[in-house]
Structure 1
Amino acid sequence: MILPHVISALWLTTFTYSSLVPVAATQGSNSTFYNPIIPGFHPDPSCIFLPEWDETFFCASSSFNAFPGIPLHASKDLQNWKLIGTIASFRGAGHDEKDATDASRWDNIIFRAKDPYDPASWSNAVHFEFEGYDTEPFWDDDGKTYMNGAHAWKVGPWIQQTEANLDTGEVIGWKTIWNGTGGMKDHIFIAKMDGGTGLGHMVTIARSKNIDGPYESNPANPILTNANTTEYFQTVGHADLFQDASGNWWSVALATRSGPEWLHFPMVRETVLTAATWKEGEWPYLTPISGKMSGWKMPPYSLEVEGPGYESNPLFSSMTVTDRLSPWISLGEVKGDDVSFGPNSSIPAHFTHWRYPIENSYTVSPPEHLNSLRLTPSKLNLTAFNGNYAGQEGQTFIGRRQQDTLFTYSVDVDFTPTAVEEEVGVSVFLTQNHHFDLGVVLLPTKARTRAFPGRNLTVVEEPDKLKLHFRFRGESYVPIPANIVVPVPEEWVGEALHLEIKGVNATHYSFSAGPAGAASCMQTLLYASNNALSWGFTGECERILEPSVS
């Protein structure tokens, strides 16, 4: 929806996200650990151990349309992970509305840095030509560099390879080296993700004595999958193998907490860890993924990740460093947020936008309204033009990943609209065409569908008079609850309002509203199944709880 005009400003006075059930883990030498190790939307993990960087593990993951892109986490012990930065923090052109056969839709880039903790160290994107995805570099013993990738699905399921110059993006010529399974100097191993990204997802592997093949498929393929099991963790795949300082092998992969029913998975694709055994001359063996895992003896417990990282959203790097706290994920437990946006503070590093934001739409603690985040609303709501495209003006949107099944998310809003359909709200957001929104909106009194809980709906004598309302509505390709429009009680108008979303169980959210600072007045407007937001191609799933303006 396009609004008739843009209101001047909205202030968020508090922002809270808390987990109700932290995950426990032992810290002893029995190497018991818990998945996911990096919860929330962190798919396609790629990890490496760098002894030259004080024996630190680094893990990057995909971000799709979320900005800043490609989050980078660091750990000394594989159990405690710190967000140290995001790699793709530049404004780039997209390919929205391109035809499916237009090769320009497929754009591959690579970044490099001399210091992973320094955001200024990351290079601009170097583009290389490849009509596909899931590309990965390989450095051979002879000094040559290669790039591997999966060609676009409309063309074929095979793995292709080319010699490449990573400084310039020049590629010599792509050739098919392995057709997959259909569903070391002595050997070069190549891992492939088969079965799609849903319940049939799996990891297969092949090897060859020559970089160009032929490749021999492991007769025990797949080496990692939870397909056709009753495990809570499903869609396991897209794995990466790496060693620790003791030479032990580990593997990270993506998975969803859905069970085989695959109906409710609100955190979508997360990063999980498993131990691997890989003896010389043999094929690797990976322990199947579950919630509680056992493996090699882990490195000693440590929270001493070197380097400051950048502890605020790089878009707002000009702000002072006071109160910039880069969040830790410690032993599987996600630390909650309680953000008041005080003077000299910044937007937290793990907060995110949908595509590149309009920078001047976000102001922390402006002089006229301290201890708040001022949002300048966009003309477009979260669905925008057609559920996929938002144009160059974008959407005012800020949020954080959902990382827990049970949680409480709330925000206080100070909002004075002046025209019909001006709105601010909170949202459980998957994509532009999959989201649940609870908003405060200016509407004619005739638009209301029922009374606010605990109040009587009086006869409307002026049906076209504009009044402040709470409104719930959703967008999805599967059935969703009906719209709800209830009047804001008159005594609350002109005061800050409190909006709240809870994960009440593994299948449902609750949406509540009331006056700020008066918990006893809060009322739940409805419960909604998260199935409508656990839908579609999960590669594009970004689960964000956010204050949105439409």
Structure 2
Amino acid sequence: MYAATIRYHEGVFYVICEYLGTTTNQPSGVVFKSTDPFDDKAWSDPVKFIAGKIDPDLFWDDDGKVYVATQGIIIQEMNIDTGEMGPIHQLWNGTGGVWPEGPHIDKKDGWYYLLIAEGGTGEDHAVTMARARNITGPYEPSPYNPHLTNRGTNEYFQTVGHADLFQDGNGEWWGTALATRWGGNGAYFPMGRETVLFPMTWNTGEWPVMQPVRGKMSGWELPEQSRDIPGDGPFNDDPDVYDFAEGTAIPRNLVYWRVPLESSFAVSDKGLEVALGRNNIAGSPGGPEPAAKAISFIGRRQTDSTFSFSVDLSFTPTAAKQEAGITAFLTQYANIQLGVVSENGTLSFRFNSTESQNEKTALPTAWTGKPIRLGIEMPNPSEYVFSVSLASDDAGKIDIGKASAAQLSGGTGSFVGTLIGVYATCNGVGEGLNCPEDTPKAYFNRWRYTGITQYISATESVSSEEHN
């Protein structure tokens, strides 16, 4: 699903999005509605609509009509209850940058302000604007374009674009955008595109003035921080302290890659139970049907420039190629793995990265059958260090392998950031979707993730606790 937009109108929350890669090879639009966004059961079934482009936005005009604007900067009237779409109106082509997309419309002071992204999602990314007296145009470009960009600069935050604007409870204007922390002159950015917040001023009848995105910014007064809000689950910046007690739910910040097979994950009396998948992390051997693309992986987003992660693994392989471990995972084509694997009747630690393909270290005989602590640390934003120890002897930690963050930066995952988590696989043994019936499961306990620092420039950092 691509570039969801959330809107609030007359007591109802709306989320509009589009599926890509459908069987018809055409984007398929969906709108979900809820009066209580914190209750999963309160969300409606989707209202489906025909979508010719991505990046949909919803706009309600003063006469009650609803419009959907999409990539290519087109707009259509929509029946929000049935999904019926009106004729297409081309609004604007942008200022000449490639891929004009991500349109949002605000009506202010008698003007329809059109905000778009253009220049692609890389270093030329920019935010531009135009306005008109009628929603279908003609639109006149702003003389101040681009309103927001870091292209052509040496700023640490790059790829700034795909913005949206809003007013806070005090009537002050803010914007959000996507940006990338560009380490090593663009060599490494494993968290991918992140959301940034910037203040702005928007005087009556004028164009908005947006503050450039930097690591240190000043702006309007922020609301007092409070955890007394509806909903459940951890806050984005909380550390992970998960022991997976029997009967507890899998924490909400843990996510999958593709839809997992049924019964792949459970919380049991032994901890987080992960059934070995026939596919390895790369998705091999795979198959044409969607279920054949599933992998047994679960993880959380890397949310800090440097961090520490560890988890205890209880796993007793009984046949060759059975494997379970930890991974820093960008995509199925870009990931770093450290696993316990059975091969030729012996157990080994297998470290796999671009620099070190299938590097094996024998598992000490005295460790056999005991819980093993697997760890990932980032001593700096450019490097991952993978380690092992007995769960009962953290002081005996052994570094198994190091890998550059560059291999988890861009490439096949330029839109997304790295996930930190665990996996289990029988590496293709078995038939169809499943490993052999007698394949053991892997159990994970004492899951810990702690953010250490957030870099705000190439040379400056603050503690994650202070930043958050």
Q: What TM-score comes out, normalization by structure 1 length?
A: 0.70
Indicate the residue corresponding to 1:192 in structure 2: 116
- Please, which of 346, 360, 363 is the counterpart of residue 488 of structure 1? 363
Indicate the residue corresponding to 1:254 in structure 2: 178
CA deviation vs aligned residue, 1:222-264 (integer Å, no higher than 9, x gap) = 1111111122111111111000122110101111111582221
Give me the whole-angstrom Cα distance separating, in 2, the residues matched to 1:118 and 1:525: 44
Give me the whole-angstrom Cα distance separating, in 2, the residues matched to 1:297 and 1:218: 28
Indicate the residue corresponding to 1:468 in structure 2: 347
1:481 positional shift: 2.9
More divergent stretch after superposition (291-300 vs 488-497): 291-300
Give me the whole-angstrom Cα distance separating, in 1, the residues matched to 2:261 and 2:183: 39
- Structure 1 gaps of 5+ residues are 1-42, 65-92, 151-157, 312-325, 445-465
Pairs within 5 Å for 1:190-339: 190-259=114-183, 261-305=185-229, 307=230, 309=231, 311=232, 326-329=233-236, 334-339=237-242
Indicate the residue corresponding to 2:463 in structure 1: none
- Please, which of 370, 383, 392 is the counterpart of residue 508 of structure 1? 383
- Please, which of 305, 327, 336 is the counterpart of residue 405 of structure 1? 305
User: Contact conserved, 1:383 with 1:433, CA < 8 A, in 2?
Assistant: yes
- Change in 2 beyond 3 A, CA 1:423/1:347: same
Indicate the residue corresponding to 1:86 in structure 2: none
User: Contact conserved, 2:302 with 2:417, CA < 8 A, in 1?
Assistant: no
Indicate the residue corresponding to 1:95 in structure 2: 21
Partner SS, residue 377 of structure 1: coil
Give me the whole-angstrom Cα distance separating, in 1, the residues matched to 2:53 and 2:44: 22
Give me the whole-angstrom Cα distance separating, in 1, the residues matched to 2:128 and 2:184: 21
- Change in 2 beyond 3 A, CA 1:390/1:546: farther
User: Contact conserved, 1:149 with 1:159, CA < 8 A, in 2?
Assistant: yes
Partner SS, residue 133 of structure 1: coil
CA deviation vs aligned residue, 1:163-189 (integer Å, no higher than 9, x gap) = 111222111122311111112362101
Indicate the residue corresponding to 1:424 in structure 2: 324
Pairs aligned (count)? 413
CA deviation vs aligned residue, 1:297-331 (integer Å, no higher than 9, x gap) = 223343322x2x1x3xxxxxxxxxxxxxx2224xx
Indicate the residue corresponding to 1:119 in structure 2: 40
Indicate the residue corresponding to 2:374 in structure 1: 499
| 1:148 to 2:69 alignment | yes
- Please, which of 384, 391, 404 is the counterpart of residue 529 of structure 1? 404
| 1:179 to 2:103 alignment | no
Give me the whole-angstrom Cα distance separating, in 1, the residues matched to 2:80 and 2:50: 12
1:437 positional shift: 0.7
Partner SS, residue 366 of structure 2: helix
- Please, which of 36, 61, 81 is the counterpart of residue 167 of structure 1? 81
- Change in 2 beyond 3 A, CA 1:94/1:203: closer
User: Contact conserved, 1:188 with 1:210, CA < 8 A, in 2?
Assistant: yes
Indicate the residue corresponding to 2:254 in structure 1: 351
- Change in 2 beyond 3 A, CA 1:303/1:148: same
Indicate the residue corresponding to 1:365 in structure 2: 268
Indicate the residue corresponding to 1:138 in structure 2: 59
- Change in 2 beyond 3 A, CA 1:262/1:47: farther
More divergent stretch after superposition (280-289 vs 115-124): 115-124
CA deviation vs aligned residue, 1:34-60 (integer Å, no higher than 9, x gap) = xxxxxxxxx96857689979xxxx998
Give me the whole-angstrom Cα distance separating, in 2, the residues matched to 1:211 and 1:249: 22
Give me the whole-angstrom Cα distance separating, in 1, the residues matched to 2:357 and 2:227: 47
- Please, which of 278, 291, 294 is the counterpart of residue 379 of structure 1? 278
- Change in 2 beyond 3 A, CA 1:185/1:388: farther
Which amino acid in the other structure matches residue 489 of structure 1? P
Higher relative contact order (CA 8 A, sep 6+): 1
User: Contact conserved, 2:261 with 2:291, CA < 8 A, in 1?
Assistant: no
Taking only aligned residues, the RMSD between alpha carbons, in angstroms, comes to: 2.7
CA deviation vs aligned residue, 1:371-391 (integer Å, no higher than 9, x gap) = x11111111111013899884
Partner SS, residue 398 of structure 1: strand
Give me the whole-angstrom Cα distance separating, in 2, the residues matched to 1:248 and 1:398: 40
Which amino acid in the other structure matches residue 186 of structure 1? G
Partner SS, residue 409 of structure 1: strand
1:61 positional shift: 11
Give me the whole-angstrom Cα distance separating, in 2, the residues matched to 1:384 and 1:148: 36
User: Contact conserved, 1:512 with 1:523, CA < 8 A, in 2?
Assistant: yes
| 1:546 to 2:396 alignment | no
CA deviation vs aligned residue, 1:137-163 (integer Å, no higher than 9, x gap) = 11111111110000xxxxxxx311111
Give me the whole-angstrom Cα distance separating, in 2, the residues matched to 1:505 and 1:51: 47
- Change in 2 beyond 3 A, CA 1:231/1:405: same
Which amino acid in the other structure matches residue 377 of structure 1? L
1:337 positional shift: 1.0
Indicate the residue corresponding to 1:414 in structure 2: 314
Give me the whole-angstrom Cα distance separating, in 1, the residues matched to 2:239 and 2:226: 20
Partner SS, residue 292 of structure 1: coil
User: Contact conserved, 1:431 with 1:542, CA < 8 A, in 2?
Assistant: no
Partner SS, residue 111 of structure 1: strand
User: Contact conserved, 2:14 with 2:32, CA < 8 A, in 1?
Assistant: no
Partner SS, residue 548 of structure 1: strand
Give me the whole-angstrom Cα distance separating, in 1, the residues matched to 2:287 and 2:48: 24
Partner SS, residue 520 of structure 1: strand
User: Contact conserved, 1:46 with 1:252, CA < 8 A, in 2?
Assistant: no
Give me the whole-angstrom Cα distance separating, in 2, the residues matched to 1:296 and 1:48: 23
- Change in 2 beyond 3 A, CA 1:262/1:269: same
User: Contact conserved, 1:203 with 1:223, CA < 8 A, in 2?
Assistant: yes
Give me the whole-angstrom Cα distance separating, in 2, the residues matched to 1:502 and 1:252: 30
Indicate the residue corresponding to 2:339 in structure 1: 439
